[in-house]
């Protein structure tokens, strides 16, 4: 066991920097091959240090999910940032301050936001109309021609707003479990965005770009017709959900939570971990028998961690407890390799939420990387 | 709308201090009436300021869920603390430092932990055997006589460890939906702990206490036979889950997340909120139709918030987005009272996880209360 593990005394997010850098290089190369702008979403890692790994791969433009995150990365030298969330008008002053110092891209999905931006912005911004291609989260419905046109016209009337294109997040891709399902979801999404682009082109809004963001499509597809920009985020670490979707292999997963073992119960094939909902999040996957799982189980080993232990999973989670359950053979292996006071690795279901909770990374080389601070309640 | 709401620019945990203090006073009075030790669990609020409200109600002994939390409250003058989590042997040095400065209570559920404590502790501690009364989280099975006895004997052999009693958390009570189901769960739990106590008494371990902790039983029951200590935590704020269980009314719920409105979609009866899984957590309740809900909807009003809006709920949640869906009448009310740039209140499903995520409270009087800092990855 490497000495870095010996320093761990509470649930800790381990980061395999080599895998993360490989994930970054692979996605950057794919974007370059397709002559697309690669604008990775930094909400997954939220770390200036990891941001530098992207810069080394040639990345110049980034995506974030909040105004506070934009300010954090701006302070670390990023000057071309998309806030991929419908404009929060209550932060208009902070947004305007960003617009004054860098190339800021904003998402709009309603007229009210455009009107406030038009009256309050003092610096230029690039505007993307957020399009709902069927996911029903935020955005204008892709076939709502009247609203799309009304938004484009209102934007065009504002001196400080330049309409850049149409942006979507294909959340539907996360329901896919095969490459062909991911490809189908992508095709549907892009065709719908292209419908909206063609509509606007017919009304003199030409040259609009299309930006997509989901990690499954960006990971699995090789060719991206009709698209101008890729904004995946999760791929830097991947996680169990992405393995389930088929977007990556276990060897691509770059983060694992090292959890202290506080109990071993052979009478019920359970291992009790210090590692609960405030560390892993309550994100879950449904097992074949209908029960939920909150993480996959790996052994920490010299230089990293093992493949997942088949027949073992986090069956239950509360604020600080994680309960690993195992079938007999898997439990026998757990019992033979673990002791109370040892460590077990849990592959998170959703690494974005886990990273957001743990706020620090410990690399396999023993370096601690920090993350954007939590903004205060009221600024 | 009170001016305090005008200062909110991002998802913010509002705290009705009057309700929280009322919840504290009521529980403290109930414990006193029953002549029980009231040792509230501070993992729910994690705030030194809120801790002072408990002190004003006569509380002297507290419960926490981690060693870091124990150090935080020790620094704020608390000197009788139970860490209600199976001893994490990797933090033995920090545990021993606590034991040297205050009256520290630890939970054990296996011999391995006792042996390490025996060899490493330099200061005295009170020990509780954690008993699993059927919840199957951590703890010795209530009817595993051999293990219970072995633990008690090993503890008795250690000079610095004094066996104080038997402790359990009745997680099963959270599945109850009626007062009688809560009472039944309590009776079963306490009878099982009493079985274990009687067993140990027969083997010369006399005078052991019983400590229980679940908010449903502590809230609903008036008489607590056989029990010596109450450790509820959630009751200080309550939440939607506790309303569902029947442990409180909506008027008892003391926290709501104020979420900026970033979109309103009449075509699908949805309101898009800035307020997602990194603010509310992914804790959910199952609706009658089988779908999930991630929060109840209230309007922010002068001096607090409204009753929940019937027919509206958070239907979907992602990292930063919350999607409120409403039936027609409820949506009409939402649409008439909200605008993009306004605020909507969400009652969290599980206030402990929401507070842990947001890290600050904003009282209705405009005060910001802070919480224990996040411990670093490696100390």
The model's pLDDT over A247-268, given as tens digits with 9 standing for 90+, comes to 999 999 999 999 999 999 999 9
Mean pLDDT in residue range A153-163: 97
Answer whether residue B123 shows pLDDT above 60: yes
3-class SS of residue A263 = strand
Residues A198-242 pLDDT 10s: 999 999 999 999 999 999 999 999 999 999 999 999 999 999 999
* A65 chain-B contacts, CB cut-off 8 A: 319-320
Residues B39-56 pLDDT 10s: 999 999 999 999 999 999
Residues B297-323 pLDDT 10s: 999 998 999 999 999 999 999 999 999
Quick check: A138 and B362 CB within 8 A?
no
State the pLDDT confidence band at B352, using cuts at 50, 70 and 90: very high
Mean pLDDT in residue range A128-153: 97
Nearest CB partner across the interface for B353, out of A113, A319, A377: A319
Chain A nearest C-alpha distance from B201 (Å): 25
Nearest CB partner across the interface for B141, out of A85, A267, A376: A267
Please indicate, yes or no, whether residues A198 and A287 belong to a single structural domain of this protein. Answer: no
Chain B nearest C-alpha distance from A33 (Å): 30
Structure confidence at residue B173 (pLDDT) = 86
Nearest CB partner across the interface for B272, out of A138, A318, A352: A138
Please indicate, yes or no, whether residues B190 and B259 belong to a single structural domain of this protein. Answer: no
Residues A285-296 pLDDT 10s: 999 999 999 999
Percent of all residues in chain A with a pLDDT value above 70, rounded to a whole number:
98
Strands (E), B213-295: 229-230, 255-265, 270-274, 285-286, 292-293
3-class SS of residue B313 = strand
Answer whether residue A273 shows pLDDT above 80: yes
In a domain, A287, yes or no: yes
Across chain B, mean pLDDT equals 96
Across chain A, mean pLDDT equals 96
> How far is the C-alpha of B311 from the C-alpha of B329, rounded, in Å?
8
Nearest CB partner across the interface for B86, out of A268, A272, A359: A272
Chain A nearest C-alpha distance from B321 (Å): 8
Chain A nearest C-alpha distance from B379 (Å): 8
Chain A nearest C-alpha distance from B344 (Å): 13
State the pLDDT confidence band at B289, using cuts at 50, 70 and 90: very high
Of the candidates B204, B238, B272, which is a domain's last residue? B238
3-class SS of residue B17 = helix
Of the candidates A210, A237, A264, which is a domain's last residue? A237
CATH of the domain at A74: 3.20.20.10
Note whether A97 and A81 are within 8 A (CB): no
Quick check: A113 and B137 CB within 8 A?
no
Please indicate, yes or no, whether residues B260 and B232 belong to a single structural domain of this protein. Answer: no
Answer whether residue A172 shows pLDDT above 90: no
Answer whether residue A355 shows pLDDT above 60: yes
| Cα–Cα nearest to A190, from A164, A228, A145, A220 | A228
In a domain, A178, yes or no: yes
In a domain, B327, yes or no: yes
Note whether B75 and B98 are within 8 A (CB): no
Structure confidence at residue B372 (pLDDT) = 86
Quick check: B341 and A89 CB within 8 A?
yes
List of residues 6+ apart from A274 with CB closer than 8 A: A10, A11, A259, A260, A261, A262, A320, A321, A322, B85, B88
Q: CA of A329: how far to CAs of A64, A287, A290, A336, A338, in Å?
A: 44, 18, 22, 11, 14
Counting beta carbons within 10 angstroms of the beta carbon of residue A369, is it exposed (0 to 12), middle (13 to 18) or buried (19 or more)? middle
The answer to whether the predicted template modeling score (pTM) of the entire model surpasses 0.90 is yes
In a domain, B87, yes or no: yes
Please indicate, yes or no, whether residues B346 and B197 belong to a single structural domain of this protein. Answer: no
In a domain, B221, yes or no: yes
Report the interhelical angle of B179-202 vs B145-156 (nearest 10°).
60
* B359 chain-A contacts, CB cut-off 8 A: 374
Nearest chain A residue (CA) to B14:
A377
The tokens describing A242, both together, are 């992405």
Please indicate, yes or no, whether residues A161 and A287 belong to a single structural domain of this protein. Answer: no
Nearest chain B residue (CA) to A110:
B263
CATH of the domain at B314: 2.40.37.20
Indicate the DSSP class of residue B41: B
In a domain, B341, yes or no: yes
| Cα–Cα nearest to A240, from A185, A285, A270 | A285
Name the residue range of residue B67's domain.
17-238
- The total domain count for chain B is 2
Structure confidence at residue B3 (pLDDT) = 85
In a domain, A246, yes or no: no
> How far is the C-alpha of A272 from the C-alpha of A296, rounded, in Å?
14
| Cα–Cα nearest to B198, from B188, B189, B187, B207 | B207
Please indicate, yes or no, whether residues A174 and A91 belong to a single structural domain of this protein. Answer: yes
Counting beta carbons within 10 angstroms of the beta carbon of residue A205, is it exposed (0 to 12), middle (13 to 18) or buried (19 or more)? buried
State the pLDDT confidence band at B4, using cuts at 50, 70 and 90: very high
Quick check: A13 and B112 CB within 8 A?
no
Please indicate, yes or no, whether residues A176 and A283 belong to a single structural domain of this protein. Answer: no
Please indicate, yes or no, whether residues A221 and A283 belong to a single structural domain of this protein. Answer: no
Residues pairing with B259 in the sheet: B344
In a domain, A155, yes or no: yes
| Cα–Cα nearest to A234, from A356, A87, A367 | A356
Percent of all residues in chain B with a pLDDT value above 70, rounded to a whole number:
98
């Amino acid at each position: 066991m490497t000495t870095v593990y010996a320093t761990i005394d509470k649930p800790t997010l381990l980061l395999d920097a080599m895998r993360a850098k490989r994930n970054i290089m692979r996605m950057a190369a794919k974007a370059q091959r397709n002559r697309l702008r690669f604008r990775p979403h930094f909400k997954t890692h939220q770390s200036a240090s990891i941001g530098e790994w992207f810069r080394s791969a040639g990345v110049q433009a980034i995506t974030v999910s909040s105004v506070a995150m934009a300010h954090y990365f701006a302070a670390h030298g990023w000057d071309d940032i998309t806030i991929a969330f419908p404009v929060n008008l209550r932060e208009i002053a902070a947004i305007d301050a960003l617009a004054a110092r860098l190339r800021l891209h904003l998402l709009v999905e309603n007229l009210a936001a455009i009107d406030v931006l038009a009256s309050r912005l003092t610096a230029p911004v690039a505007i993307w109309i957020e399009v709902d291609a069927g996911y029903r989260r935020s955005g204008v419905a892709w076939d709502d021609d009247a609203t799309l046109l009304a938004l484009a016209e209102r934007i065009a009337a504002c001196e400080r707003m330049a309409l850049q294109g149409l942006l979507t997040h294909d959340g539907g891709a996360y329901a896919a479990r095969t490459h062909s399902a991911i490809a189908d979801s992508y095709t549907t999404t892009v065709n719908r965005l292209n419908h909206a682009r063609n509509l606007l082109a017919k009304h003199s809004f030409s040259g609009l770009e299309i930006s997509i963001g989901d990690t499954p499509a960006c990971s699995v597809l090789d060719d991206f017709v009709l698209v101008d920009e890729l904004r995946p985020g999760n791929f830097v670490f991947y996680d169990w959900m992405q393995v389930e979707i088929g977007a990556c292999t276990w060897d691509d997963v770059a983060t694992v939570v090292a959890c202290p073992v506080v109990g071993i119960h052979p009478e019920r094939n359970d291992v009790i971990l210090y590692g609960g909902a405030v560390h892993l999040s309550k994100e879950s996957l449904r097992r074949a028998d209908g029960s939920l799982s909150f993480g996959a189980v790996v052994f920490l080993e010299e230089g990293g961690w093992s493949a997942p232990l088949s027949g073992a999973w986090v069956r239950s989670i509360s604020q600080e407890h994680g309960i690993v359950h195992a079938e007999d053979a898997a439990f026998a292996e757990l019992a033979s390799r673990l002791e109370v006071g040892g460590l077990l690795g849990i592959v998170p279901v959703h690494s974005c939420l886990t990273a957001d909770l743990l706020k620090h990374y410990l690399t396999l080389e023993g370096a601690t990387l920090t993350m954007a601070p939590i903004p205060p309640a009221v600024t």
